[in-house]
Amino acid sequence: MAAFSDRRRTLLAADVDAQTMTNSAANNHHQKPRRVARKNSHRHRPARRSSLRRDIGHVAAETYLITRLAFTLLRYLGIGYRWITQLLALGCYAMLLMPGFLQVAYYYFFSSKVRRSIVYGDQPRNRLDLYLPADTSVPKPVLIFVTGGAWIIGYKAWGSLLGLQLAERGIIVACLDYRNFPQGTISDMVNDTSQGISFVINNIANYGGDPNRIYLMGQSAGAHISSCAILEQATKESQKADSVSWSISQIKAYFGLSGGYNLLEMVDHFHNRGLYRSIFLSIMEGEKSLKKFSPTIKMKDPCFKFSIHLFPPVYLFHGTADYSIPSIASKRFADALKEKGARAQLILYEGKTHTDLFLQDPLRGGKDDLFDHVVAVVHANDSDALAKDATAPPRRRFVPEILLKLASKISPF
């Protein structure tokens, strides 16, 4: 730029006085940044359009996936009176909570703090979503979440409300997707979950997570699947298998929410609630496999006495008014863990249903004992985080109280 100005002054010296040259130089100085700014503004517009197209395309792809899997499942289950009434109840339940779902969906699809569909394996549903706090300048604790869905309608986006609220408290949340029935059976679900846990443990540092502060949580069917994954990993470690890619000792605590841990006791119960025996046994790979995939029963295996010292503290949460999976399931699993010497704690919530703890209460906002309990455990050794938790504002309400009460009454769960 300096050389260009010198040549210009030489050519114009005979015709233009010094003042004119100064004005000309000043004009050139002010015009060029404007031209650059215009050029830069044009350069960024295609990037924004491309990002918007990508987000819209992702929404369309996710919607298509859910719809396709729903029709596949309906073809397998068949259409009967009980399924029709359950689907109608589910539709009304979802409509009542729609004000909250729409807000969470907007956050899920359009927030820059959500990393969607990160690939963790080579199977069709081996994807996970990451929910990142606003500040990741220092490594953050990580909660791996395995969603429920009766082993047939589980989906990683079901954990977006939990991800949103925990990220606000400085906790990274990794929501795992896994193959559902009829895409896969229970062993596929457990393998997918174990592979997802391994991926998070070994890669979360790349996303601002602390690999030394990993926590695991499962809800409903996800609690069953994730507990099976922990016990399967314990078996591998006790047998010193070569294929071990993570250790249960790397999990700082396990949270089981409204889970069923003894399948032998659940077959008739699920049958009466519409998950028919033939379908349930197909999911669980036959009657002979029920004990294998029942953590309460499997804890009696002698191999666990060699690996029980590796077990993380276990916290089991359950509502006493849960009719989808009665709270006795968590109590018996807690007793089995304690009998083997594991650190287990059962927390019961009086009058809470299967969905209250996971959906209605978080959508209600304000104080939530379960949420506070999980955050307190995750932040137990972080004085700065605990201080921030003590002064954190109340969680905001997503849905009016009247709609939440109506949803509770009509819920098919």
Give the residue numbers annotated as catalytic, written as ranges.
Answer: 220, 322, 354
Q: Which tokens sit at 269?
A: 């119960």
Please report, for residues 60, 65, 145, 281, the alpha-carbon distance to residue 152 in angstroms, rounded to integers and kept in the order given.
21, 14, 17, 13
DSSP 250: G
Pairing assessment for the beta strands 114-119 and 127-131 based on DSSP bridges: antiparallel
- Count CA atoms closer than 13 A to 356's CA, side-chain side: 23
For 73, counting Cβ atoms within 10 Å of its Cβ (0-12 exposed, 13-18 middle, 19+ buried), the class is middle
Helix (H, G, I), strand (E, B) or coil at 324: coil
Q: Which helix (H) or strand (E) element contains residue 90?
A: helix 81-96
- Count CA atoms closer than 13 A to 409's CA, side-chain side: 7
Cis peptide before 182 (omega within 30 of 0): yes
Q: Which tokens sit at 170?
A: 């400085």
What DSSP line would sit under 157-216, residue for residue?
GGGHHHHHHHHTTT-EEEEEP-PPTTT--HHHHHHHHHHHHHHHHHHGGGGTEEEEEEEE
Task: With CA atoms as reference, report the closest residue to 227 among 274, 179, 199, 263.
Answer: 263
Task: With CA atoms as reference, report the closest residue to 359 among 212, 220, 230.
Answer: 220
Task: With CA atoms as reference, report the closest residue to 170 among 144, 208, 218.
Answer: 208
